[in-house]
Amino acid sequence: MKTAPHIASVEDVGDVRAAAGLPRYADILAASAATHYVLRCDGAEVAPEWVSQNVARLLGETVKSVVGQWNNFIERVHPDDRDEVLQNFTTVRAGKRLDHEYRLRHNHGHYRWVHDKVQAVANGSRGADFVIGSWIDVTERKEAADRFRQTAEKLRRTLIQTVGAMAQVVEERDPYTAGHQTRVADLATEIGREMGLSEDQNQGLRFGAMIHDIGKVGVPADLLARPSALNQAERELMQAHSAIGYRILKDIEFPWPVAEMARQHHERSDGSGYPSGLKGGAILLEARIIGVADVVEAMASHRPYRAALGIDAALAEINQCRDRLYDADVADACAALFRDGGYTLPDYRQSATSLW
């Protein structure tokens, strides 16, 4: 929407006073979307010299109640915005133009958000004698943005809870590895931070790690809890969980490649992994991270067919096989977390959503 010409285009103090005093200009400015104002600056003293008639629409005030009342004006600024506004006016008086947004109190007590375009007007060698600007009411835009943020946060929480529920489905079928996906997700996320992944990529990594074993819902329950070694046919059934997980997740429109994380987390750098035998950089970075976190958590924890081997054994495995089975950068970041950063795996009893 176009607004009337900005009063800030006036070039000198004489023109400011003339423009403010001419009824035809005042009528034009009163009809614009913005409320225009002029502040007179006399040393440390600042006072509103003029304000357009539509101040009544913005603040529910008369021109008379605003003009000459600097304290009245600045006290209308929301307490949380006041220091910044005063600092900004100091900056403007030093000769800079400025766009800023803050809240002004309406005469009825509520606050309105304004976008303020402001600049100083110099009077010859005496410096800035006037500050002129215009307020545009942006309350509806601010409130709409706030509602959008609230909705986005609600959707984020819903996604977390949904993914947490999906993770719980796996653990209900495989109680002997309770907390595995949660612990893998926590470790994978910390490895991602150690490697400098963006916050968004790291969030996607956490989601993917939380449900990397979702495909186990398609594996016979007796295989998941088998206390003895599996034969070749049974191992192939167990390994199918990666492809099953991909099929379950592939049609969900996550903003991250979560389905590929599930499919690729057992791929290995030398091509010896499954299901596709991918090598090196062909494996998704997030899947490489989950793969390392998965091995560390599994070795450090109890399994139906063996006792826990411990963190030292897990880190030794990762170090010994770095660059052959596991991405070297991921392996080094994981080792640094435990040895230099004092990281410990979270308690397996924590819920899937408690670590967000």
Domain residues of the chain, as ranges?
7-137, 148-339
- Work out the burial of residue 47: count CB atoms within 10 Å of its CB; fewer than 13 is exposed, 13-18 middle, 19 or more buried: middle
**Distance between CA atoms of residues 61 and 53, nearest Å:** 9
In this model, does residue 4 exceed pLDDT 70? no
pLDDT at 26: 63
Which residue has better confidence, 119 or 262? Answer: 262
The first and second tokens of residue 283, run together, are 């494996």
pLDDT tens-digit series, residues 235-252:
999 999 999 999 999 999
CA-nearest of 118, 60, 109 to 89 is: 118
The percentage of the chain sitting over the pLDDT mark of 90, rounded to a whole number, equals 53
pLDDT tens-digit series, residues 198-215:
999 999 999 999 999 999
pLDDT at 16: 45
CA-nearest of 332, 333, 295 to 311 is: 295
pLDDT tens-digit series, residues 24-73:
566 666 667 788 888 888 766 777 888 888 887 888 888 877 787 767 77
**Distance between CA atoms of residues 336 and 292, nearest Å:** 13
Check: CB of residue 283 under 8 Å from CB of residue 264.
yes
Q: How far are the Cα atoms of 34, 263, 292, 299 from residue 318, in angstroms, in the given order?
A: 64, 21, 7, 11
pLDDT at 356: 55
pLDDT at 227: 79
pLDDT tens-digit series, residues 296-320:
999 998 887 788 899 999 999 999 9
CA-nearest of 258, 267, 263 to 295 is: 267
Please say if 216 is a catalytic residue. Answer: yes
The model's confidence at residue 124, banded by pLDDT at 50, 70 and 90, is: low
Mean pLDDT, the chain, rounded, equals: 85
Superfamily the domain 7-137 falls into: PAS domain (3.30.450.20)
The model's confidence at residue 230, banded by pLDDT at 50, 70 and 90, is: confident
User: Which of 126-130, 131-135, 145-149, 222-226 has the least mean pLDDT?
Assistant: 126-130
Secondary structure string (H, E, C) spanning 242-283: HHHHHHHHCCCCCCCCHHHHHHHCCCCCECCCCCCCCEHHHC
Q: Mention every residue, 6+ apart, whose C-beta is less than 8 A from residue 86.
A: 74
Fold of 148-339: Hypothetical protein af1432 (1.10.3210)
pLDDT at 232: 92
pLDDT at 19: 45
Q: Which of 117, 216, 250, 279 is catalytic?
A: 216
Q: Is 30 helix (H, G, I), strand (E, B) or coil?
A: helix
pLDDT at 349: 54
The arithmetic mean of pLDDT across residues 158-176, rounded, is 84
**pTM for this prediction:** 0.69
